[in-house]
Amino acid sequence: MDDAIQEKLLKYSGQECDLKGRICQESKKIWRVALPGVISRVSAFGTVVVTQSFVGHISSVDLAGYALVQSLLLRFVNGILIGMSSATETLCGQAFGAKQHHMMGIFLQRSWFVDLITMTILLPAFLFATPIFKLLGEDETIAKSAGHISLWFIIYCYGLVFSLTIQMYLQAQQKNMVIAWLSIMQFVIHIPLSWLFVNVLGFGINGAMGSLCTSLWFVVFGEFIYLFGGWCADSWKGFTVAALKDVLPVVKLSISSGLMICLEMWYYAILVLVAGYMKDAEVAISAFSVCTNINGWEFMICLGLLGAACVRVANELGRGDAKAVTFSIKVVLSTSVALGVFFWILCLVFGRKIGYVFSNDENVAQTVSDLSILLAFSVLFNSIYPVLSGVAVGAGLQGTVAILNVVCYYLIGLPIGLVLGYVTNLQVKGLWVGMLCGVIAETLALSLMMWRINWDEEVLKASARLKRWYLETPDEAIQATNPA
């Protein structure tokens, strides 16, 4: 009897050690992708937030104008570009898992082609920002400031086209540490450059926006040097007309990806717009924008884990290992939730002091303080649903998530926010409660979706997609014509 018990204990002990080993191994794979992604996203978003801080100390009108452009136009365009670029993440991740390395460079070029055309189509939104904001009923002085600032964001957004797609291409093959270093240098350069342009040379808004654009294009040129300099020899074979083949299927997947991210990011943008119709619009817009930026900054960390979830799921689907997919999902989700709890505590402790970092206006700082508890819970839920979205991107299920976004954000969250904000007179606080309700609904819907997915079927779908879009390398073509 004692021998039997001892044998069972040894067996369970061995299983526990094996499980710990698997978790450690999977965590290393996740953080190899996530850490550079977190650093790059936090640094990139940090430059936007730092610019907001410099603008806020120039004037409250320019702060409100910047908040409108950054929260509405930039989120609108950024959502489309990030979403459409996530098609690169899906295809490159699965191609890397299937060892079709040469296809990754082709997928990258297709994404450049599609995203550049998309950005050009979106230009009128920036060129006619002032009349658009006036038409939406915003204050005239704020609309004029926003119109001037929006012109600078054109340069910024064209840089995003290359920065986002190259980052996802490198991330899929676990070579994105270079992005982390470039992003750190971007942030380090941006702060003194902003101080020089705004405080020393007195360039004002032009100085703040010029610094923002300069720091982003520094990253873009660094990425080009890495890409064309031979550090991606297996996956980058130079420019090719093959990238123009099968563009329509990529466009279809890109549109699904774009809708998925856009519907999520536009949700926050619409709430900022609605805040502009409330009492003391200047304070409401500024305070709401500050809180969404803090929420967004933490969200950048979760986006790093979203990228890791996407890459790990796509890689394992490309390899055809369904069990590895489910195990990876459990590990990355547990990691993200632990981080979410940590930042939730930070927001609860320091929430009442955050507003003073972004504005000297006592009313703005106090409104931010009033929203601090709701902000803390938004940060907590940020740690769950982005990871589940990343899993969906890795599997190519962006279209399904887009539908969930419509229902949860626009049919649940937005109506609740409008009712609480206007009917019950809770103002900005009511809007945020509605936003939180939409986020909770999205979290529950994605959790149910993940629970019901048959990953063996997703492996077959990924394999079929890769075979359908596969193009032979020159060596394979020669071998096929001359088998001897």
Greatest Cα pair distance, the chain, in angstroms, is 85
Q: Is residue 20 part of a domain?
A: no
For residue 241, being part of any structural domain is answered with: yes
Q: What per-residue confidence (pLDDT) applies to 211?
A: 93
Model pLDDT, residue 428: 72
Scanning the structure block, which residue is given the tokens 């279809």? 252
CB 410 within 8 A of CB 267: yes
Specify if 381 maps to a domain: yes
Cα–Cα distance between 453 and 70 in angstroms, integer? 36
Tell me how far apart the alpha carbons of residues 437 and 206 are, in angstroms, rounded to a whole number.
38
pLDDT in tens, the chain (484 residues): 455 555 554 554 555 557 788 888 888 888 888 888 788 877 887 888 888 888 888 887 888 888 888 877 887 787 778 777 777 777 787 788 777 888 888 889 988 888 898 899 989 989 999 998 888 777 888 889 889 999 999 999 999 999 988 988 888 887 878 888 998 999 999 999 999 998 888 888 999 999 999 999 999 999 999 999 888 888 898 888 877 776 777 777 677 666 666 666 667 667 666 766 666 666 766 776 677 777 777 777 777 787 788 888 888 888 888 888 888 888 888 888 888 888 888 878 876 677 666 666 777 777 777 777 888 888 888 788 888 888 887 777 777 888 888 888 888 988 898 888 777 877 777 878 888 898 899 889 988 988 888 888 888 887 777 776 666 565 554 455 555 5
Q: What is the pLDDT of residue 403?
A: 84
Tokens representing residue 199 in the block: 């405080």
Dist. CA 478–CA 464, nearest whole Å? 24
Cβ count near 161 (within 10 Å) = 22
Residue 236 lies in a domain: yes
Does some domain include residue 147? yes
In a domain, 412, yes or no: yes
Residue 484 placed within a domain: no
Domain enclosing residue 34, as ranges: 29-470
Residue 475 lies in a domain: no
Residue with tokens 């991606």: 232
The whole-model pTM stands at 0.73
The answer to whether the Cα torsion of 456, 460, 465, 466 is positive or negative is positive
Count: domains in the chain: 1
The distance from CA 34 to its chain's CA centroid, rounded to whole angstroms, is 12
Rg (CA), the chain: 23
Query: How much is the pLDDT for 17?
Result: 59
Query: Position of tokens 């801080």?
Result: 53
| pLDDT computed for residue 273 by the predictor | 67
